[in-house]
Structure 1
Amino acid sequence: MKLTRILLAATVAAATLPAVAQVSVNINVPGLIQVAPPAPRYEPVPRPRSGQVWVPGHWQWNDRAYAWRPGYYVAARPDYAYAPGGWVRADGGWRWREGDWRRAERREDRRGDRHRRHDHDRYDHDDDHRGGGHCPPGQAKKGRC
């Protein structure tokens, strides 16, 4: 008896609903902006300061629109180079990637690495070399790797 009443109530409820229901869900992902940032502004870089690194200006999102934040100096870190932040496409919108510090290469390390890389590349240009390993830039499109 109780089961019959429940089934009857469910049938009446289903009959009163429209045949096709459309649900629109707008999920707001924190930190994701739907509007693309404007093109960067030209900003002349001021004279270098001893012990300081210039951080270029960029557009910031203030919950309603973009606002320009001018460049500024930050204290340099020994053995590190500053990599500026930037806007990147993500999940159907735009997300700000903060600038950060990366370990800087020493000049001697780069020079030694360049010579080793040059010797390695010389052997990779062989026409019989196909498949795995290193493929010099632009060579894969030409069918050489």
Structure 2
Amino acid sequence: MKIRLFIAQAAIVVAGVAAVAGSASAEVIIVAPNAPPPVRVESVPPARVGYVWDNGHWRWEHGRYVWNPGHWQVERVGYHWVPGHWVARGGAWRWMPGHWA
């Protein structure tokens, strides 16, 4: 009887940990109803060793687009930076975040 109770409790704990771990890696999907404004032209600073420049982009915030200026990303050796971008899907615009590939 005690063993069954222990196994049941252990199963509940494992299921709870798995649920929390799964939700921690969930991606936030950002969708805007209209196209972003044209990209702003920014002056790119001189190259920095160990960093990659990530161009500025429009972000959707509180029902409107807000400019997010470019910034440096710490370089990941063996990878290249794929910048984020907006994609038209199903009558709306979806933000595809930048990532290392």
Give the 5 Å matches for 1:30-41.
Answer: 31-41=30-40
Structure 1 position 69 matched with structure 2 position 72: no
Matching residue's letter, 2:48 = R
Matched residue, 1:93: 92
1:82 corresponds to 2:81: yes
Work out the number of aligned pairs and report it.
73
> 1 or 2, which has the higher strand percentage?
2
d(CA) in 1 for partners of 2:69 and 2:63?
19
Give 1:57's aligned residue: 56
Q: Work out the CA distance in 2 between the residues paired with 1:75 and 1:89.
A: 29
User: For 1:88, what is the secondary structure of its paired residue?
Assistant: strand
Structure 2: tracts of 5 or more residues without a match: 1-28
Cα displacement (A) at 1:40: 0.2
TM-score by length of 1: 0.48
> Deviation at 1:32?
2.0
Kindly report the root-mean-square deviation, in angstroms, between the aligned alpha carbons of the 2 structures. Answer: 1.1
How far apart are residue 79 of structure 1 and its match? Answer: 0.7
Match of 1:139 in 2: none
Q: Give the share of equivalent positions with the same residue, in percent.
A: 42
**Structure of greater Rg:** 1
* 2:30–2:60 CA contact under 8 A, matched in 1: no
TM-score (normalizing by structure 2): 0.69
